Amino acid sequence: MLKPADLFNALRRGGSKALAPQVSPTFAALGQHQLDSKTDNAAAHSHSFSGSSRPLSSLQIQILERVETCYQEAEIALKRTFLRPVTQFSLRGKSAGTAHLQQNRLRFNAVLLSENSEAFLAEVVPHEICHLLCFQLFGKTKPHGKEWQSLMLTVFKVKPNTTHSFNTTSVASKDVEYRCDCGPMRLSIRRHNKVLRGESRYICKRCKAHLIAA
């Protein structure tokens, strides 16, 4: 486990490296909104949010505030400034959040956020931010290696869990039964929605008949 002094020494040495594009999948398994960038006195405090025109929920606003608070804590602890990431709420599936390292971007799962708001504020946000900080400080490291663990413990005082235990029933993928001349088969909910909207029709590869909802 790295000690706080190791982090400061790495800073003085300039730990960041140029890397091939890498996305760090993380904490468990998770809307977007376009706002004007919020700037502080320094360019390093630029914090942008991107996505659709859908308004942010009060919980999403709390997450953005938590992101800013975490960065301020990191700057005090590590004695340097960090460029604020783009923050989005577009992640789907069973993941709570993910950190896109070279893009300096955070994505959170809006559905799991609404169901686990306290855990998101306390653990998920620091978890994902530590991936971005670790990349900027040390370059390429193991996703949940000793550098990441040390940042979690020394900067945010959060136990470095690598997975979550959220109930993911509401975000589990679903499928719908269709039929053709061969018999029943399943289509994903995404394809089913395309059929309902009249955007697509699907044909069985074996009998060449159009699939019809059962």
Mark whether 12 and 116 lie in a shared domain: yes
Please compute the mean of the pLDDT values over residues 95-108 and round it to a whole number: 95
Active site residue ranges: 128
Tell me: is residue 33 an annotated ligand-binding position. Answer: no
> What pLDDT, in 10s, does the model give residues 123-165?
999 999 999 999 999 999 999 999 999 999 999 999 999 888 8
Residue 104 falls inside a structural domain? yes
The helix/strand/coil state of 61 is: helix
Mark whether 118 and 177 lie in a shared domain: no
Residue 167 falls inside a structural domain? no
* Dihedral (CA of 81, 82, 83, 85) sign: negative
Tell me: is residue 131 an annotated ligand-binding position. Answer: yes
pTM above 0.75, yes or no: no
Mark whether 86 and 36 lie in a shared domain: yes
Residue 61 falls inside a structural domain? yes
User: Would the pLDDT of 82 be above 80?
Assistant: yes
Mark whether 134 and 80 lie in a shared domain: yes
Q: What distance in Å separates the CA atoms of residue 174 and residue 183, rounded to the nearest whole number?
A: 20
Residue 161 falls inside a structural domain? no
Mark whether 183 and 89 lie in a shared domain: no
How do strand 105-108 and strand 86-88 relate by DSSP bridges? parallel
Question: What was the pLDDT predicted at 189?
Answer: 75
Mark whether 147 and 181 lie in a shared domain: no
- Split into its structural domains, the chain has a count of 2
Q: What distance in Å separates the CA atoms of residue 120 and residue 124, rounded to the nearest whole number?
A: 4
Mark whether 180 and 81 lie in a shared domain: no
Quote the domain boundaries for residue 187: 173-213
Please compute the mean of the pLDDT values over residues 161-175 and round it to a whole number: 81
